[in-house]
Structure 1
Amino acid sequence: MKFLKKYILFPKRFGIFPYIWMIWIIYPITDLWPFNRVDTIIPTILLICFLWFYRNGYSVSKALPIWIYGQYGIIFVLTITNEWIYLLLFSAWEISSLPVSKRTFHQFLAGYYMTLVVCMGLLMALDEMTPWSFTNQMSIVMVLFLILSPLGGKSVANSYRRSQQLRQQNSRYANLIKRGERERIARDLHDTLGQSFSMITIKSELAAKLLDKNPDQVKNELKEISEASRQNLQLVRNIVTGLRQTSIAEIMIELADELKLQQISLMTDGEGQTNKWPHDIQNILADILREAITNVMRYSRADQVEVHFTQTKAAYHLMVADNGKGYKAVRKDAMALKEWQNAPKLSVENLAFKPADLGQSSMCNYQRRDDSHGNQNYFS
């Protein structure tokens, strides 16, 4: 396996593009077939050498100029013997995908165009053709493809490299977020449970000392220890409940991946402001979003879904719309209504569905009551 990775397979960082261009090898192989002729020996050996130079060019070592310019030389010879000028496409996409400096790329590019001009001139001289007749024979598309391939390949390689760097950066951010969450949990545990357990330890030691001297005082100490233990237990439950809450950002990442697999495009509006919304509101909205988007993927036959977040002084609003087949009416005993009716702080009279403006899409309205503060938060 190490031999394959080191000498045969292309480096993973270049993706599948080097393998895709190997399809072009079919053309010279068909020209050489069958291999029982004497005149195919030298082209076959040169073709194998070219593929070896092509593979080693992706290793990006100090010998890189040898592998690149060596390809140009082999192509020049094969153009004379077999008119395989199209092998330059291998070199064109290779030099455009290599992570080299601009100066090095421009040097390889200059060598490429010099080889292309020389090979085209050589073919015209051998076949006694004018530039116009040569272009007609090779087709204008092929000529333009040979000319523009290094530049187009460079654009594709830069786009692929940027997307790869973006994925790596997102992974780093995710690790930082996890680290920050761990530090927050450790800080909360230290500031709350740590002090409480220290107090329990001190009172336990005091109770042991007072056991013989003042038994009545021991009862009071044990009572306080028992009360502190109950408070700590409730505190642990609150911390665990807080950890189980899902933010809107987290659920949107999850849903975006699921929608992408279903080939449904997702558009959001006002998502950035939800980071400042209270955690309990985000947790309820996350559950609603999960159910709503799941229904879109299962039943709507849509290829586009929009999620809008808005906020007023008295309410938080959520709107989910898709361009699916829609509906004319909703049964009062619908399963979604029954499920959300039993949700905490949500009641059926505060939940409604109706057609929206985007095709035959759907929109959901939610209302949440916060009885402890005497006000209302509406989700719509």
Structure 2
Amino acid sequence: MQNWYHIIPKNTGLSSYIWIIFYLLPFFFIFKTSSILEILLGILLVAGFFLSYRRSFQSKSHLFYFWVSIDILISLALTLVFGYVYFSLFLAFIIGNINHRGGFLSYYIVHLVTTIAATALLFFLKEESLFPQLPFIIITIIGVILLPFTIRYRNKQHELEDELEDANERISQLMVIEERERIARDLHDTLGQKLSLIGLKSDLAGKLIHVKPESAINEIHDIRQTARTALKEVREMVSNMSRAKLEDELIRVRQIIQAKEMEFQLEGDPSLANTPLLVENVLSMCLKEAVTNIVKHSEATWCRVMIKQSPTEVLIKVEDNGIGIKEKKESFHGRGLQGMRERLDFVNGSLEIVSLQGTTLNIRVPNVNQQSEKEDPV
């Protein structure tokens, strides 16, 4: 509930000055009476109403319902004795703030029935004196009927808005986490391939340095160039400017395969037509990860890459004659292949792994652009 000093009802459509009038108005009804005892009784009832009204904002659970019940009894007493029915609007407001559905309905029905019954009895006893107030009393009864539901609806709306704001903040945090994971995967794939190439060329240069010094020098130059290329790609990736082309990636794939002293075969056209740059980037990163796994884990002697583009999909098949995934289960569940699946899921693609004699990876991505062009003329 609100703090005790926030006892002017908010979000009711009425100005605070009108509520102040409702606070002061009962004294006008009280001082109309000629009996000192009645005046004292009226002042005590008003003071008791405000005291219990304040306590209801401070209390929780059963004490809250206790103080609201006291307010209902005092409001009925003021209505029957002094003809002041307007405290029922304060009760309608506080009942509308009850979150528990059962408690809300119970107190709403009790308050509505008692207010209408007391007002009807008051008209029966003091019809002539209440006739000038009839429009205001009717407005009060309408407020008792509608105000609790209005307050409850607005509270629910504010709760939903707060939940939506929290959800949007959570989505923003998840987007940041997802972007960090994407950058981590890209760094892993890019640096993994380049460092593997540097390691292989370093081993090769070590073998050739005494046998073929000139070839060893060339390998060292290649190592330096590969390191510069890796640094450049990392900088571009961090600045979100890295967009790998499949043709460029195949050049690096050929280099790393040949550095491993494996045979490399390419079938198909790497220049994809009508393929979004994002999709081509995903395919390039997946091809890079697949070849890196072959170089690190397969112990194969050859690697074949087949690229096939049809009106419905782009297929990249990567094959090797290595030991297969069954003997290297950690590579199947490793971060590399998991990163490939996540990237392909983002563009509605799929990854199929066949491991019999060697390993075959089928990387498929639907050719969305060609499908849409085919459907548009119809």
Q: TM-score, normalised by structure 1?
A: 0.49
Q: Which has the larger radius of gyration?
A: 2
Q: TM-score, normalised by structure 2?
A: 0.49
Higher relative contact order (CA 8 A, sep 6+): 2
